[in-house]
């Protein structure tokens, strides 16, 4: 029994940045991510493990075979399993409340960071 698939047709600029895309739903059993050449249309199916859906402004990374969203902050780290940027757990971040926070990768949540007292 075949399942519905989504195929993306993506227009990339010379840097691999997604300029435009459209999707086609169909039933098919082949899984693929086709490599691209700059400025050409890239044909991608989202049922390949490393294919995440394109969005305008994302960059196609041919090494990871995935669309990478813009980096929200220079300190963020790319999670190569989900292709999302995550905060660096070693960096102290200050949110709008100006209270120091750190990211806990195990719970995938922020916590208030209290600096250790000097001895």
Each residue of 55-104: pLDDT tens digit? 888 888 878 888 899 999 999 999 988 888 999 999 999 988 899 999 99
12: Cβ contacts below 8 Å, ≥ 6 apart: 18, 19, 36, 38, 39, 40, 41, 42, 60
Contact 59, 15 (CB under 8 A): yes
Does the pTM of the predicted model rise above 0.85?
no
40: Cβ contacts below 8 Å, ≥ 6 apart: 12
CA distances from 113 to 64, 77, 107, 118 (A): 33, 19, 15, 15
Each residue of 32-53: pLDDT tens digit? 444 444 444 455 544 443 456 7
Contact 88, 76 (CB under 8 A): yes
């Amino acid at each position: 029994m075949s399942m519905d698939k989504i195929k993306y047709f993506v227009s990339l600029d010379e840097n691999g940045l997604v300029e435009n895309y459209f999707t086609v739903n169909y039933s098919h059993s082949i899984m693929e991510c086709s490599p691209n050449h700059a400025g050409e249309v890239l044909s991608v199916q989202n049922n390949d493990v490393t294919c995440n859906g394109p969005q305008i402004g994302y960059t196609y990374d041919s090494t990871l075979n995935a669309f990478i969203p813009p980096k929200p902050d220079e300190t963020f780290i790319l999670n190569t399993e989900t292709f999302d940027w995550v905060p660096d757990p070693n960096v102290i971040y200050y949110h709008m409340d100006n209270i120091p926070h750190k990211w806990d990768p195990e719970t995938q949540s922020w916590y208030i960071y209290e600096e250790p007292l000097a001895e």
